[in-house]
């Protein structure tokens, strides 16, 4: 390989590495630890920072049994985020899909938040519009 071609190839590789670092830093994925309460449940959260410094959250869980089937029966699952500077925030109720074409229990939540999340956890609650977690913690993300 000629020196000029080598230099060009080196620049292309360096540019590719920089681009991969930039794009991967905009998005991060957190997975949930195994739950002792609902051991079959598994899932992850993808967090993307947008150009307005907001955080798009896309949370997906599989095999999460309905909250009314827990030992301590509840009405809803609520997703919470620990934020870097603003404490614990209620992200909303976890929506579940079940029915004829959804044999696996799938739950998801998509939202946007202004505070930077550090980790997430899900609790079983009597109602969704509460300010602080009261129920049992079902799942937490690994740090």
Task: With CA atoms as reference, report the closest residue to 127 among 82, 83, 92.
Answer: 92
> What confidence score (pLDDT) does residue 99 get?
56
Q: What is the pLDDT of residues 21-60, one digit of tens each?
A: 444 446 899 999 999 999 999 999 999 999 999 999 999 9
**Neighbour count for residue 76 (Cβ, 10 Å):** 21
In the chain, the DSSP E strands lie at: 27-31, 42-49, 55-62, 76-83, 87-93, 95-99, 102-113, 117-125, 137-140
Q: What is the pLDDT of residues 123-133, one digit of tens each?
A: 999 999 999 99
87-93/95-99 β-pairing: unpaired
pLDDT of 12 over the 70 cut: no
Q: What is the pLDDT of residues 76-124, one digit of tens each?
A: 999 999 998 899 999 999 987 665 555 568 899 999 999 999 999 999 9
pLDDT of 75 over the 80 cut: yes
Q: Taking a C-beta distance cutoff of 8 angstroms, is the pair 89, 78 a contact?
A: no
Distance CA 78, CA 132 (A): 10
Distance linking the first and last C-alpha atoms of the chain? 45
Percent of the chain with pLDDT over 90: 64
Distance CA 139, CA 61 (A): 10
Mean pLDDT of 57-66: 93
Q: Which residue has the higher pLDDT, 28 or 6?
A: 28
Taking the CA of residue 66 as centre, how many other CA atoms within 13 Å lie in the half-sphere pointing to its CB? Answer: 6
> What confidence score (pLDDT) does residue 27 get?
80
Q: What is the pTM of this model?
A: 0.77
Q: Rounding to the nearest 10 degrees, give the CA dihedral for residues 33, 37, 42, 44.
A: -50
């Amino acid at each position: 390989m000629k020196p000029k071609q080598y230099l060009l190839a080196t620049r292309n590789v360096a540019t590719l590495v920089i681009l991969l670092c930039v794009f991967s830093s905009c998005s991060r994925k957190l997975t949930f630890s195994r739950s002792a309460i609902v051991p079959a449940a598994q899932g992850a959260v993808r967090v993307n920072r947008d150009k307005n410094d907001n955080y798009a959250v896309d949370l997906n869980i599989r095999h999460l049994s309905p909250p009314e089937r827990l030992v301590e029966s509840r009405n809803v699952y609520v997703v919470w985020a620990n934020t870097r500077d603003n404490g614990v925030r209620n992200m909303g109720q976890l929506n579940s899909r079940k029915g004829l074409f959804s044999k696996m229990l799938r739950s998801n939540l998509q939202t946007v938040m202004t505070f930077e999340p550090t980790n997430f956890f899900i609790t079983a609650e009597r109602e969704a519009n509460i300010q602080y977690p009261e129920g049992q913690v079902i799942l937490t993300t690994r740090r």
